[in-house]
Amino acid sequence: MKTNMGAADRIIRLLLVAVVIVLYFTGTIHGTLAIVLGIVAAIFLITSIIGFCPAYSPLGISTRSKHST
């Protein structure tokens, strides 16, 4: 599995996860919306940690920089 997410993409996803967590624990979101956003946040968290987004693969998207070393 080749990583296809750059640092900025991963940071943005982690920030969105943090926002969902804060909204949930402050009681701003609840019920079905909280469940749906919780699932999306869990997916964002997992993809950010591993650096691979399965939705990017079929579309040929990669947010990684193309630095040559």
Q: What is the pTM assigned to this prediction?
A: 0.85
Burial class from Cβ neighbours inside 10 Å (0-12, 13-18, 19+) for residue 4 reads: buried
Tokens standing for residue 44:
């964002």
Q: What is the pLDDT of residues 16-55, one digit of tens each?
A: 999 999 999 999 999 999 999 999 999 999 999 999 999 8
51: number of Cβ within 10 Å: 17
